[in-house]
């Protein structure tokens, strides 16, 4: 992974012969591995550290590389020579490989977390591959640490070159136990993940792991659904497929579990005769629950064997005696299998039948759009969105789907506008109609409706918040609408959450000064609910208005009287403001009486925080 990158860059940059004779160059690969391992074992500070490469200050980087070089018995370098080689190595790796990058002023990390993880795994193999016991001792403490999961999997995959190592280590993982294993099955799921990652273990161990997963999948334990999910990742596994098929057909098992097993078969990807026949029989059995049958039909589409299943799926989809949901999924699978005409023919019947469930009709119409039949799809969706006898959530989803369809025909636009402006229509449907108008290029009309909804005290607060939030996603700068939005945000009689979202939208639309004023007012109002104040503080952080917000935020974070949610939000907002020109005075942190986690969040800001007076 990293070697080709190094070699490619060396060719482009044309390293000299003198460069290649330097001690650091001779040990460059191992130096990278040592550096990656050292970084990976350093504690994370602050929030947001998971999921990215660790960072190191330039001085610490130089010191560690020099120590690695000095301790290398093959090089026999003194302290000064090691320091010189470290400097040359850092220059080379930054400029010539792109593996190490500068994240901030004198702060470095690997360009991507994957590079770091790969090199850590390579380091562990280099150091311990001659002893299975040593390898186990190196990874055992980190088995369930999220930052080490990919390292362990990469290491085990790399050990496929050995005959005994993978089986021995995976067996130790599988047979490990702790106080949580009976409930969480963490060791089992990790062992199964190694199988999904193609770590080669002997047949007996493979069978034991899959059997254990199937046993839990049949149980009523906490990990039942997760076991099915893990089984679905074992691509093409015959034992897993047979077990899942049996589970999906077992009438003693709960419907949700059988449905999950049928879906897992589709994801597993094994499309042999046994599985295809079993799923077709399940989908066509009118004594089986419709949800299970529908999921079996859907799984057949994922497996991709049109030559074997298209005809029976078409027969199932076309049978008016079959449950609508089963027919819908069978038709959808036909579309996935490349049989668009047959699929569309059935979906048109389902979507156009007013006697059928409205939710299924809406889904059928959406699939018609996906199949390129947007005219027919739009017609059905407009009917559903405008029918006050249909459930409000289905109408709302239909209005939303019209925006996704992307057809800006005048008839569709006028119908959506009529729905959005009609005060007799439920607010949820009006909201999604306005959002679709926005998507289809009618921002002005959408804005008028959204402002009306956001300001209507008769409407549920969450819908008003959604309307206010949507205003920030519009692409316009009409002064009259911005003024009305500002009036809404500043009105103390309006629900505080609505004001908060309105202010945040103002900030997104370029009116950060006015937005910050409203948000600061809400954040500082101790009579407001802690959730409201936390939300206002988070919005301040996203605005990036350090001048106005920073001192207030720091005060919140350090005030032991404040609600912990407010203090946490303040600390996180300070992190958002980390790119500001302000610098921290060391005394600021020492005065804080907040929990350790909040102090860590503040420290992670690094180049930020308030003026000290």
Please report which helix (H) or strand (E) contains residue 23, including its range: helix 23-26
Q: Residues with Cβ < 8 Å from 389, sequence gap 6 or more? A: none
pLDDT top residue among 85 and 159? 159
pLDDT for 605: 37
Exposed/middle/buried for 76, CB within 10 Å: 0-12, 13-18, 19+?
A: exposed
CA atoms of 555 and 571, how far apart (whole Å): 10
| Mean pLDDT across the chain | 84
Please write the tens of the pLDDT for every residue from 164-219.
Answer: 999 999 999 999 999 989 899 999 999 999 999 999 999 999 999 999 999 999 99
Cα–Cα distance, 613 to 609 (Å, whole number)? 13
Residue 128 has pLDDT above 90, yes or no: yes
Give the pLDDT confidence of 342-371 residue by residue, as tens digits: 999 999 999 988 888 888 999 999 999 989
Alpha helix segments (H runs only) across 250-370: 255-268, 273-284, 290-303, 306-318, 324-336, 340-352, 358-370
SS3 state of residue 303: helix
**pLDDT band at residue 2, thresholds of 50, 70 and 90?**
low
pLDDT at 204: 98
Mean pLDDT of 51-71: 89
DSSP state of 43: P
> Which range is least confidently modeled, 36-50, 57-71, 463-477, 554-568?
554-568
CA–CA gap between residue 273 and residue 257 (Å, rounded) = 23
Residue percentage of the chain with pLDDT more than 90:
53
Please answer whether residues 205 and 156 qualify as being in contact, where contact means their C-beta atoms are separated by less than 8 angstroms: no
Pick from 127-136, 183-192, 466-475: least confident: 466-475
Helices 306-318 and 324-336: crossing angle, nearest 10°?
150
Strand bridging mode 107-110 / 100-104: antiparallel
State mean pLDDT over 38-59: 76
- Tokens 């959005």 belong to residue: 420
The pLDDT tens digits for 208-252 are 999 999 999 999 888 899 999 999 999 999 999 999 999 999 999
Place 421 in a pLDDT band, splitting at 50, 70 and 90: very high
- Summary count for the chain: helices (H), strands (E): 36, 3
Tell me the HSE value of 613 on the side-chain side, using a 13 A CA sphere.
Answer: 1
**Residue 580: per-residue pLDDT:** 38
Stated as kind and residue range, the H or E segment containing 538 is helix 530-543
Q: What is the pLDDT of residue 528?
A: 77
Name which of 35-44, 545-554, 587-596 the model is least confident about. Answer: 587-596
Domain ranges in the chain are: 2-125, 511-613
Cα separation, 474 vs 325, whole angstroms: 37
pLDDT for 24 equals 75
> pLDDT band at 489, cuts 50/70/90?
confident
Q: CA-CA distance, 383 to 93, in Å (whole number)?
A: 63
pLDDT at 611: 32
Q: How many Å apart are CA 579 and CA 574, to the nearest integer?
A: 10
- Is the separation of the CB atoms in 578 and 55 below 8 Å? no
**What are the pLDDT digits (tens) for 265-294?**
999 999 999 999 999 999 999 999 999 999
Tell me which residue has tokens 């639309």: 509
Residue listed under structure tokens 């042999």:
272
For residues 579-591, give the mean pLDDT. Answer: 37
The CA-CA-CA angle for residues 107, 110, 111, to 5°, reads 105
In this prediction, residue 8 has a pLDDT band, given cuts at 50, 70 and 90, of low
Percent of the chain surpassing pLDDT 70 = 83
């Amino acid at each position: 992974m990293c070697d080709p990158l190094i070699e490619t860059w060396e060719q482009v940059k044309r390293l000299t012969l003198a460069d290649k004779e330097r001690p650091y160059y001779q040990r460059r690969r191992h130096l990278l591995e040592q550096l990656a391992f050292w970084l990976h074992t350093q504690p994370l500070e602050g929030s947001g550290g998971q999921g990215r490469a660790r960072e190191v200050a330039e001085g610490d980087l130089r010191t560690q590389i020099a120590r690695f070089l000095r301790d290398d018995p093959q090089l026999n370098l003194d302290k000064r020579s090691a320091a010189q080689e470290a400097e040359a190595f850092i220059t080379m790796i930054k400029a010539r490989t792109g593996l190490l990058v500068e994240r901030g002023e004198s702060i470095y990390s690997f360009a991507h977390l994957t590079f770091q993880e790969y090199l850590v795994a390579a380091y562990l193999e280099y150091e311990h591959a001659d002893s299975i016991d040593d390898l186990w001792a190196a990874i055992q403490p980190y088995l369930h640490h999220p930052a080490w999961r990919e390292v362990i999997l990469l290491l085990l995959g790399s050990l496929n070159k050995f005959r005994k190592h993978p089986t021995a280590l995976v067996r130790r993982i599988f047979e490990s136990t702790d106080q949580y294993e009976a409930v969480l099955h963490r060791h089992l799921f990790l062992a199964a993940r190694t199988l999904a990652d193609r770590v080669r273990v002997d047949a007996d161990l493979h069978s034991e792991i899959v059997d254990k997963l199937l046993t839990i999948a049949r149980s009523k334990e906490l990990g039942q659904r997760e076991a099915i999910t893990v089984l679905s990742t074992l691509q093409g596994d015959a034992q897993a497929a047979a077990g899942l098929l049996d589970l999906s057909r077992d009438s003693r098992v709960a419907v949700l579990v059988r449905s999950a097993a049928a879906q897992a078969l589709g994801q597993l990807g094994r499309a042999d005769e046994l599985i295809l026949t079993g799923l077709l029989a399940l989908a066509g059995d009118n004594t089986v629950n419709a949800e299970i049958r529908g999921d079996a039909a859907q799984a057949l589409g994922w497996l991709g064997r049109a030559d074997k299943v298209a005809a029976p799926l078409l027969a199932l989809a076309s049978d008016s005696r079959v449950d609508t949901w089963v027919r819908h999924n069978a038709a959808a699978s036909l579309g996935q299998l490349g049989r668009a005409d047959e699929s569309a023919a059935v979906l048109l019947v389902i979507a156009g039948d007013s006697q059928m469930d409205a939710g299924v009709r809406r889904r059928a119409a959406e699939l018609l759009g996906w199949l390129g039949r947007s005219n027919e799809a739009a017609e059905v969706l407009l009917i559903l969105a405008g029918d006050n006898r249909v459930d409000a959530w289905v109408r709302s989803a239909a209005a939303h789907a019209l925006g996704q369809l992307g057809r800006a025909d005048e008839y569709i636009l006028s119908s959506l506008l009529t729905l959005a402006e009609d005060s007799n229509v439920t607010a949820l449907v009006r909201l999604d109609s306005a959002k679709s108008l926005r998507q289809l290029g009618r921002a002005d009309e959408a804005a008028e409706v959204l402002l009306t909804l956001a300001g209507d005290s008769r409407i549920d607060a969450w819908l008003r918040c959604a309307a206010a939030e949507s205003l920030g996603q519009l692409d316009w700068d009409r002064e009259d609408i911005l003024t009305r939005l500002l009036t809404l945000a500043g009105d103390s009689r309006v629900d505080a959450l609505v004001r908060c979202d309105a202010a945040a939208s103002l900030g997104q639309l370029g009116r950060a000064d006015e937005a910050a004023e409203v948000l600061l007012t809400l954040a500082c109002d101790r009579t407001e609910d802690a959730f409201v104040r936390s939300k206002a503080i988070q919005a301040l952080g996203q605005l990036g208005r350090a001048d106005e917000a920073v001192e207030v935020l720091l005060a919140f974070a350090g005030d032991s009287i404040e609600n912990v949610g407010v203090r946490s939000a303040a600390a996180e907002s300070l992190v958002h403001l980390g790119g500001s020109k302000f610098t921290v005075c060391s005394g600021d942190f020492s005065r804080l009486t907040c929990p350790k986690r909040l102090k860590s969040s503040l420290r992670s800001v690094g180049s930020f925080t308030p003026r000290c007076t």
